[in-house]
Amino acid sequence: MDRQLLHAGHNHEMNEKEKKWLQEQEEWREEHKGHDIMHAEMLLVLLGALFVSQIILILWKQKHPRSYNMVSLTGLWVIPFLVSCYHHYWRFVGCWLLFSVITAQVIRLARCKPLGGKTPRLVYRWFQFLYNASYGFGIMSYMVMMCVLFGLHLLFVEDPEPVVDFCIVLFFYGGYFGVLGRDLSELCAEEMASTIGYYEKDSISSRSLEENICAVCGQSTNSASDATDPEPAYKLSCGHVFHDSCIRGWCIVGKKQTCPYCKEKVDLQRLFSAPWEKPHMLYGRLLDWIRYLIVWHPAIIIIAQGINDYLGLK
């Protein structure tokens, strides 16, 4: 009996929510009745802002990539934090602070001169961990969402709303920290490689690369010479040899697609030939799109809204 009363109360609550939602929709339709032309003009303004902004962003990235990357990284790091503080999303604020403290320490190690022998591999392993965790969160949120679509959530809860909310939060956390980690890893990769001396951003390094030396970390790739922390090595098509974690961090996490020493293009399909590694490259491209969604899309929407307000379109 108690269970039936509880179920009836739950249905009544859902009906009340549905009635309230329908009422709000009806009020919105009445408020905007006869505004079809104005809404079409607002849509044109939005599409125009998106088109023009894309051209500006592409030209900016091509002509001034350094300033574009710095502005993108600053916005990516700061904007979600400020929005979360404003809306009192303290769980995200706590995760952001923890991430920032640890990553700031990693960046400090990457910028130290002289650079410690184990520092590059330690830095890459941290960012590789962030990337793998982000990838895992994305897969988990997708699997849980599929369970909801097939009704498997009914085995645990009746209301799918909290499960869907959990999927959205999980995907956002994974995507956000994955994007931020990749951008910071790119900066650290260039900084460490330049400090070691085997990498020059705009030219080929004048320093000669000794045989069996990893140009990313400057350490020997011979496992026998590093018995305390042996690691498999990988030889690129250009003939240069790198530690497995170093070249993976350089290519996937650090977003580089050339040999750190000679600048020859890296064949990622050959480097990551295992079938289970293919999705990592696709996920990397997805993270690039998420960066645009977090940083530039809100800015474009604000600009379009400002144009609408200036033109008196509401």
Task: Dump pLDDT digits (tens) for 109-148.
Answer: 888 887 776 787 788 888 888 888 888 888 898 888 888 8
28 is a domain residue: no
- CA 173 to CA 178: how far, in whole Å? 8
- CA 117 to CA 124: how far, in whole Å? 13
pLDDT at 205: 64
Q: Are 118 and 156 in contact (CB under 8 A)?
A: no
296 is a domain residue: yes
Q: The domain containing residue 261 runs over which residues?
A: 42-311
Torsion sign, CA atoms 59, 63, 64, 65: positive
Confidence tier at 95 by pLDDT (50, 70, 90): very high
3 is a domain residue: no
pTM here is 0.70
pLDDT at 271: 61
Confidence tier at 12 by pLDDT (50, 70, 90): low
Q: Which structure tokens are listed for 56? A: 């500006």
2 is a domain residue: no
Whole-number Cα distances in Å, 56 to 67, 121, 295, 296, 302: 13, 37, 15, 11, 16
Q: Which residues, other chains included, contact 299 with Cβ-Cβ below 8 Å and sequence gap of 6+?
A: 75
288 is a domain residue: yes
- pLDDT tens digits, 176-216: 888 888 888 878 877 787 777 767 666 666 677 777 787 77
- CA 144 to CA 13: how far, in whole Å? 26
Token pair 């000669």 in the structure block, residue: 208
Identify which of 213, 193, 197 has the alpha carbon closest to the alpha carbon of residue 205. 197
Token pair 């002289």 in the structure block, residue: 114
123 is a domain residue: yes
30 is a domain residue: no
Range in 44-58, 94-108, 200-214, 291-305 the model is least confident about: 200-214
- CA 124 to CA 126: how far, in whole Å? 5
Q: Which structure tokens are listed for 64? A: 């001034």
- CA 69 to CA 19: how far, in whole Å? 48
- pLDDT tens digits, 255-308: 677 777 777 777 666 666 554 455 555 666 666 677 777 777 778 888 888 887
Pairing of strands 241-243, 233-235: antiparallel
Percentage of the chain surpassing pLDDT 70?
Answer: 76
- Please name the residue ranges forming H helices in the chain: 2-31, 36-63, 65-86, 90-111, 119-149, 161-196, 244-248, 268-271, 278-291, 297-311
Token pair 């809860």 in the structure block, residue: 157
Q: Which structure tokens are listed for 280? A: 């990592």
Residues paired with 220 in a beta bridge: 213
98 is a domain residue: yes
Identify which of 148, 199, 197 has the alpha carbon closest to the alpha carbon of residue 170. 148
Domain count, the chain: 1
